[in-house]
C-alpha cells in the first residue's frame, strides 16, 4: 500500500500489542536470549506441567518478574501516544503482555489476553482473582475457597482470556494495528487474517517484518517508540 488509508474520527481501532512495545521501557521480550525467558526455558516456567512439576521454580520466576515490573518500570512514548489517540478514536488495546504499562499510561480499554503479572488466582476457580503485587508462594490460599493460588497468567497450552470479547472488538473496529509482536503465537497471530477476511485495513508497527508481513496493508519497521509516533502522524494527516 503506497498511500496510508483514510480513517474517520471516532472510529474504533483494534490495537494488538506484544513484547516489543514494552522493551523500550526496560522489559525483556519473550524471545530474547536464544529462546530463554529471563534465562529460563519457557517449558520450565510457562506451562501448566511446569507448575505441577516444580511450583517453587514457577512462583520464584514470576515473583522476580513482578518485582522487576514494580521497581519503577514506566510506560514509554509508544504507550503514551496510544493514550493520546484516545482523544480522537476509540482505541481497543488487546495486549499479549502481562505488564501494567498500558494501564499506567492511561489507556481506558485494555484486554489482557495472557493475564496480568500483578494478579493471582485460585487454581480451582478461575473467577477467584486477586490484585497481587507482592511475592506469591504455596502458602497463599484463596480467600473464597481455601485452594492454592497461582499466577494469573495464561500459560502455553491454556486458552487466552476474553476471546469472545476480543472477537466482538474486532467486528466493531475499522482498523487493525499490530505493535511489537512477532506473529508467532496463536491465536493472536491469527488476528490479522481475521481482519483481512473482513476486508479491513491492517497495519504493522514492528522492529522487523513479522511472520505474517504479507497480510499487512501498511508497515513501519522501526522501534516501537518511533513507529507508533510515525503512525500517529500518518493517522492525523488522513482523518476524514
Give me the number of domains the chain comprises: 2
My answer on whether 60 and 109 are in the same domain is no
My answer on whether 83 and 141 are in the same domain is no
My answer on whether 110 and 123 are in the same domain is no
Contact between residue 93 and residue 114 where contact means Cβ atoms under 8 Å apart: no
In a domain, 4, yes or no: no
Question: According to the model, what pLDDT value does residue 36 have?
Answer: 47
My answer on whether 137 and 215 are in the same domain is no
Question: According to the model, what pLDDT value does residue 4 have?
Answer: 78
- Helices 77-85 and 224-237 pack at an angle, to 10 degrees, of 20
Question: According to the model, what pLDDT value does residue 39 have?
Answer: 66
* pTM, full prediction: 0.93
Question: According to the model, what pLDDT value does residue 29 have?
Answer: 60
Question: According to the model, what pLDDT value does residue 240 have?
Answer: 79
In a domain, 2, yes or no: no
Question: According to the model, what pLDDT value does residue 31 have?
Answer: 55
Q: What is the CATH number of the domain that holds 55?
A: 3.30.1600.10
Which residue segment(s) compose the domain that 128 sits in?
Answer: 32-71+119-153
My answer on whether 228 and 190 are in the same domain is yes
- Rounded CA separation 129/144 (Å): 10
- Rounded CA separation 106/113 (Å): 18
List, for residues 170-220, the tens digit of each pLDDT value: 999 999 999 999 887 778 778 999 999 999 999 999 999 988 888 999 999
Question: According to the model, what pLDDT value does residue 30 have?
Answer: 55
Question: According to the model, what pLDDT value does residue 35 have?
Answer: 47
Q: Is there a catalytic annotation at residue 114?
A: yes
My answer on whether 43 and 128 are in the same domain is yes
Contact between residue 81 and residue 228 where contact means Cβ atoms under 8 Å apart: yes
In a domain, 183, yes or no: yes
Q: What is the CATH number of the domain that holds 92?
A: 3.40.50.1220
Question: According to the model, what pLDDT value does residue 2 have?
Answer: 53
My answer on whether 167 and 62 are in the same domain is no
CB burial readout 162-183, b (16+ within 10 A) else e: eeeebeebbeebbbbbbbbbbb
Query: Active-site residue among 79, 102, 114, 152?
Result: 114
β-strand pairing of 110-112 with 40-41: unpaired
My answer on whether 144 and 126 are in the same domain is yes
My answer on whether 183 and 218 are in the same domain is yes
Question: According to the model, what pLDDT value does residue 38 have?
Answer: 58
Chunk the chain into consecutive blocks of 10 residues (it has 240) and report each block's average pLDDT, rounded to whole numbers: 76 96 85 56 90 96 94 97 96 97 96 97 96 97 96 95 97 96 81 95 94 91 97 92
Amino acid at each position: 500500500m503506497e498511500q496510508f488509508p483514510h480513517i474517520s474520527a471516532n472510529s474504533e481501532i483494534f490495537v494488538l500489542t506484544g513484547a516489543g512495545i514494552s522493551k523500550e521501557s526496560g522489559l525483556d521480550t519473550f524471545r530474547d536470549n536464544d529462546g530463554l525467558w529471563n534465562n529460563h526455558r519457557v517449558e520450565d516456567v510457562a506451562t501448566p506441567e511446569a507448575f505441577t512439576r516444580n511450583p517453587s521454580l514457577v512462583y520464584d520466576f514470576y515473583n522476580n518478574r513482578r518485582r522487576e515490573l514494580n521497581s519503577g518500570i514506566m510506560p514509554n512514548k509508544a504507550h503514551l501516544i496510544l493514550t493520546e489517540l484516545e482523544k480522537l478514536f476509540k482505541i481497543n488495546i488487546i495486549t499479549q503482555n502481562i505488564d501494567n504499562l498500558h494501564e499506567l499510561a492511561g489507556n481506558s480499554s485494555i484486554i489482557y489476553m495472557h493475564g496480568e503479572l500483578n494478579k493471582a488466582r485460585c487454581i480451582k476457580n478461575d473467577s477467584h482473582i486477586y490484585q497481587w503485587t507482592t511475592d506469591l508462594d504455596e502458602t497463599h490460599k484463596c480467600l473464597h475457597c481455601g485452594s492454592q493460588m497461582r499466577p494469573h497468567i495464561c500459560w502455553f497450552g491454556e486458552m487466552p482470556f476474553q476471546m469472545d470479547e476480543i472477537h466482538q472488538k474486532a467486528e466493531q473496529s475499522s482498523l487493525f494495528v499490530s505493535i511489537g509482536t512477532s506473529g508467532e503465537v496463536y491465536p493472536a497471530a491469527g488476528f490479522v487474517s481475521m481482519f483481512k477476511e473482513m476486508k479491513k485495513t491492517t497495519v504493522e508497527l514492528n522492529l522487523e517484518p513479522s511472520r505474517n508481513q504479507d497480510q499487512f496493508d501498511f508497515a513501519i519497521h522501526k522501534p516501537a517508540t518511533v513507529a507508533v509516533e510515525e503512525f500517529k502522524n500518518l493517522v492525523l494527516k488522513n482523518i476524514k
